[in-house]
Amino acid sequence: MSNFEYVLGIETSCDDTSVALVRQDGFVVGCLAANQDLVHRPFGGIVPEIASRNHTLQLLPLIEELLARTNFTWSKIDGIAVTSRPGLIGSLLVGVVTAKTLAIMYEKPLIGVNHLEAHLLAAFLFDEEFVKYKNLKFPYLALAVSGGHTQLYLVKERGDYEILGRTVDDAAGEAFDKFAKYLGLGFPGGQLIDSVGRDGNPSAFQLPRTTVKGAPLDFSFSGLKTAATRLVDALGIEESVKRRADLCASFQEAVVETLMSKLSLALQKTGLSRVVLTGGVSANTRLRNVANEWSVKSGVELFIPPMKYCTDNAAMVAKAGLDRFSVGEFSSQDLMPLANSAPADFHESSR
Ligand code: KG4
Ligand code: ZN
């Protein structure tokens, strides 16, 4: 057993403030999140300055609440893990400065974690409500789809991640959000397109499934977004409001088919049989249904973490920190937030 049994995770890379306590084996003792959707909604997107100010207000009270609710004292916590990259620099700064201060005050080891690595490890988490019914093993393929990222990884083992494909323009969640905004549905758009599209016909409109020349595992969603907004313009306001459900269903179908086709291709190329789907977009009902059917048909073992661990959360950050601590990796008080991943975090595919 490593000396690191319980780690406090802190996540402030974008607009969600989250803190969690996680045990070495992935058991989540407690995880709290303060969502800022209502604050950013009037602006139709995340305002970085407002996001970091809210983190400043929410983070310490949230940690105090977590300790109170879990009956934990600082003496039981073996280390602090904080998202230090990639993300909005002002938001990251709040988490990093807080974690460094707490590490000094309570004499705890500190580790700065890559937010995307944390998403990749979310399928190892479980809790009292979500009991693990099957164990994830390395290696596996992971598709991380969120508002900021759409990336396909070969997760070989802890700390060894190869990027097989990535978006060359918009992230899938970003495309959902932008199209929802164009339709006047609101923010964040993914959930709204999902629920409005449930009553629609996914083949009502033919929208493009873009492939990237010379990079079959890369994604591109800007062509889809342009085609969809042009379609709305061509239909006119009255007709596009009337056909909102069909528009949402058709748009969603194009995103889901694109994601699934890359996933199938990556499986063929790697010969793997385990897949993790994670990130905010994996909340999408249609994507979950299609992926589940595909898993049953193809015999692929599919792991989709429960929603609370798919979207931005600190439990996955604590888990990534636990893994790093257990192999003797620590950050010093020089830890600084970075807007992008560090070169050593992931390596490029040679395929
Ligand atoms: O992982 P996440 O919480 O935050 C980051 O972007 O890192 O993902 C948020 C994204 C947003 O773009 C949101 O529109 C999308 O996930 N999303 C969805 C659904 N729920 C959230 N997209 C499609 N269908 C959903 N049900
Ligand atoms: Zn994220």
- Whose Cα sits closest to atom 8 in ligand 1? 280
Q: What is the DSSP letter of 94?
A: H
Q: Measured from the CA of 180, which atom of ligand 1 is nearest? A: 14
pLDDT of residue 50: 86
What is the 14 CA–ligand 2 centroid distance (Å)? 8
Residue with tokens 């973490």: 305
Closest by CA to 149, choosing from 102, 114, 104, 194, is 114
Strand duo 140-145 + 150-157: pairing: antiparallel
Ligand nearest to the CA of 118: 2
pLDDT of residue 350: 67
Ligand nearest to the CA of 310: 1
Q: pTM of the prediction?
A: 0.92
Alpha-carbon distance of 126 to 131, in angstroms, equals 6
Helices (H), the chain: 37-40, 48-70, 89-105, 115-121, 172-182, 189-197, 222-242, 244-270, 285-298, 307-310, 314-326
Counting ligand 1 atoms within 8 A of each CB, the residue from 115, 145, 176 with the most, and so the one to mutate, is 176
- Whose Cα sits closest to atom 1 in ligand 1? 280
pLDDT of residue 1: 52
Q: Which residues are paired to 114 by β-bridges?
A: 85
Q: Compute, in degrees rounded to 10, the torsion defined by CA atoms 29, 331, 317, 74.
A: 20
Counting ligand 1 atoms within 8 A of each CB, the residue from 18, 191, 248 with the most, and so the one to mutate, is 191
Closest by CA to 210, choosing from 194, 228, 235, is 228
CA distances from 348 to 163, 212, 339 (A): 5, 17, 19
What is the 261 CA–ligand 2 centroid distance (Å)? 22
- The answer to whether 319 touches 24, Cβ cutoff 8 Å, is no
Closest by CA to 325, choosing from 119, 80, 140, 123, is 80
Q: In what order do the strands lie in the sheet with 79-85?
A: 28-34, 17-23, 6-11, 79-85, 110-114
- Whose Cα sits closest to atom 20 in ligand 1? 191
What is the 238 CA–ligand 2 centroid distance (Å)? 36
Per-residue pLDDT of the chain (351 residues; tens, 9 = 90+): 568 999 999 999 988 899 999 999 999 999 999 987 788 888 877 888 888 999 999 999 999 999 999 999 999 999 999 999 999 999 999 999 999 999 999 999 999 999 999 999 999 999 999 987 678 999 999 999 988 889 999 999 999 999 999 999 999 999 999 999 999 998 889 999 999 999 999 999 999 999 999 999 999 999 999 999 999 999 999 999 999 999 999 999 999 999 999 999 999 999 999 999 999 999 999 999 999 999 999 999 999 999 899 989 999 999 999 999 999 999 999 999 999 999 999 998 765
Counting ligand 1 atoms within 8 A of each CB, the residue from 311, 313, 317, 341 with the most, and so the one to mutate, is 311
pLDDT of residue 327: 94
What is the 211 CA–ligand 1 centroid distance (Å)? 22
Ligand nearest to the CA of 178: 1
Closest by CA to 52, choosing from 21, 9, 97, is 97
Ligand nearest to the CA of 148: 1
Ligand 1: lining residues by beta carbon, under 6 Å: 14, 146-148, 173, 176-177, 188-191, 194, 279-281, 283-284, 311-312
- Whose Cα sits closest to atom 14 in ligand 1? 190
Alpha-carbon distance of 153 to 266, in angstroms, equals 9
